[in-house]
């Protein structure tokens, strides 16, 4: 394991075509009070965690199921936090906080996103090295589409004269939306845990943990093929890696992104970011941009910028 020493600032772009990337409890795409469509950080983190789980990594904060006792026999139930911990580690939650911390830091989602671990005998809060903001839709031409779906079954609970017919449901989606998520990576969040008795081998946030996050930022949405999210995929990702001990800080970068179409190709215009980053260029170690060149173009010109195909990972 190699300790991560550089902070990272970046963006993750998710495109959603005839899909519903993040619905509210009514089934509609999530919106602010003034009607702006956005995706929560939880939606993006979920896609990344699903990818990690698929790759065999230890992921604590993700839904899993068990068969529990119901009134009329076995019933499918989500595990609670203690049960999920026991499933992963084969032991009950210890009363010793150092043992619990070791187990938590062994989970790829915890080392990246942090955790609130409140169970009987333990109350641990960890601020994640990776912080992800809300992903606002930057495409002005987005429309919400509602599709009627005919079920093959009747609704036996419906007390109407039509309960002998098959029921009709609805699938709600957007025709096209472009969610732009800001993120930061700050390895210093775990410095206070290094050297604690019982955590002698803990190095803090590692290059391996960052590599796992980076992979999720490039592939998580594309790999998440559920019914509502099929059609959502990773469009681009920008990683601005600062030098060790750099003092520069940047605001969230998503307000400076515009999205529009030109000849049926999506244009992500990041030009407004260029001037901002150029002002701290001497504190920047490297800048990487991953993009799907078959469907989109990212407009950004910076010294030392390296471009890659987000699908093949080949240099562009």
Distance in angstroms (rounded) separating the CA atoms of residues 185 and 113: 10
Burial class (CB in 10 A: 0-12, 13-18, 19+), 219: buried
The closest alpha carbon to 176, from 41, 37, 271, belongs to 37
Q: Please write the tens of the pLDDT for every residue from 26-72.
A: 999 999 999 999 999 999 999 999 999 999 999 999 999 998 877 77
CB 181 within 8 A of CB 257: no
Give the chain's residues under pLDDT 50: none
Query: What is the widest separation between alpha-carbon atoms in the chain?
Result: 74
User: In this predicted structure, what is the pLDDT of residue 200?
Assistant: 85
Residue 168's pLDDT is: 72
Mention every residue, 6+ apart, whose C-beta is less than 8 A from residue 48. Answer: 213, 216, 217, 220
Q: Give dist(CA 103, CA 124) in Å, integer.
A: 12
Contact 300, 273 (CB under 8 A): yes
Distance (Å, whole) CA 211 – CA 192? 22
Which burial class, exposed, middle or buried, applies to 263 when counting CB atoms under 10 A from its CB (0-12, 13-18, 19+)?
exposed
What is the rounded CA–CA span in Å between residue 25 and residue 3?
A: 41
Stated length of the chain = 316
Instruction: Give how far the C-alpha of residue 245 lies from the chain's centroid of Cα atoms, to the nearest Å.
Output: 27
């Amino acid at each position: 394991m190699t300790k991560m020493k550089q902070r990272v600032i970046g963006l993750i772009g998710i495109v959603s075509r005839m899909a519903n990337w993040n619905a509210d409890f009514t089934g509609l795409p999530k919106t602010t009070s003034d009607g702006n469509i956005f995706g929560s950080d939880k939606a993006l983190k979920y896609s990344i965690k699903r990818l990690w789980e698929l790759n065999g990594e230890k992921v604590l904060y993700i839904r899993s199921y068990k068969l529990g006792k119901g009134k009329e026999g076995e019933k499918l139930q989500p595990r609670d936090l203690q049960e999920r911990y026991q499933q992963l580690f084969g032991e009950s939650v210890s009363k010793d906080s150092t043992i619990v911390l070791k187990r938590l830091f062994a989970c790829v989602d915890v080392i990246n996103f942090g955790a609130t671990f409140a169970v009987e005998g333990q109350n641990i809060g960890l601020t994640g090295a990776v912080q992800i903001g809300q992903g606002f839709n930057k495409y002005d031409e987005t429309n919400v589409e509602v599709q009627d779906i005919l079920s093959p079954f009747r609704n036996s609970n419906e007390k109407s004269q039509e309960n002998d017919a098959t029921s009709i449901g609805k699938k709600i989606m957007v025709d096209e939306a472009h969610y732009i998520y800001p993120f930061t990576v700050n390895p210093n969040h775990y410095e206070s845990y290094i050297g604690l008795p019982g955590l002698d081998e803990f190095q803090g946030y590692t290059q391996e943990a960052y590599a796992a996050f980076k992979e999720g930022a490039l592939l998580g949405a594309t790999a998440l093929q559920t019914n509502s999210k099929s059609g959502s995929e990773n469009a681009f990702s920008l990683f601005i890696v600062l030098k060790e001990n750099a003092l520069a800080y940047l605001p969230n970068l998503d307000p400076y992104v515009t999205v529009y179409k030109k000849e049926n190709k999506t244009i992500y215009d990041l030009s407004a970011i260029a001037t901002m980053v150029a002002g701290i260029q001497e504190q920047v170690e490297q800048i990487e941009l991953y993009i799907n060149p078959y469907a989109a173009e990212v407009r950004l010109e910076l010294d030392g910028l390296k471009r890659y195909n987000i699908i093949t990972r080949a240099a562009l």
